[in-house]
Amino acid sequence: MITGIHHVSIIASSEESIGFYSKLGFSEYKRIERKYDTVVLMYAHGIGLEIFIDPSHPPRATQPENIGLRQLSLRVDNLEKTIEDLNLEAGPIINDWVGVRFCFVADPDGLPVQLHE
């Protein structure tokens, strides 16, 4: 039986992404150096991140988007306070399908991260 999400995997081009996700509250707990990439395991908010650092991957297609997972969405208490406290550059705050406010920020590689109240 499924009991929840274990982790989300992200391919990143540089160590800069580790700093970004640390800013969002994730803590690194394991690092694996391989010949072709570095895998960094992070955890926070009941969510695991598995970040593969490899500058040789092609950039993410955005227009049109690739088929597959679209974004990482994080629940926050207050959008404006979170954006200000973390010094994030965010897009407009809008309402989702059921009227709940959200906005997007981007990690260093342009991966969309949704902040959702």
- Please state the φ and ψ torsions of residue 11, each to the nearest 5 degrees: -95, 125
Residue 2 has a pLDDT of 59
Assess if residue 91 is contained within a domain. yes
Query: pTM of the entire structure?
Result: 0.87
CA distance 78 to 116: 9
Q: What is the domain count for the chain?
A: 1
**What CATH code is carried by the domain that includes residue 98?**
3.10.180.10
What are the tens digits of pLDDT across the range 8-53? Answer: 999 999 999 999 999 999 999 999 999 999 999 999 999 999 999 9
What are the tens digits of pLDDT across the range 71-92? Answer: 889 999 999 999 999 999 999 9
Domain housing 45: 7-56+70-116
Assess if residue 47 is contained within a domain. yes
Mention every residue, 6+ apart, whose C-beta is less than 8 A from residue 57. 11, 13
Burial label for 40, CB within 10 Å (0-12, 13-18, 19+), is buried
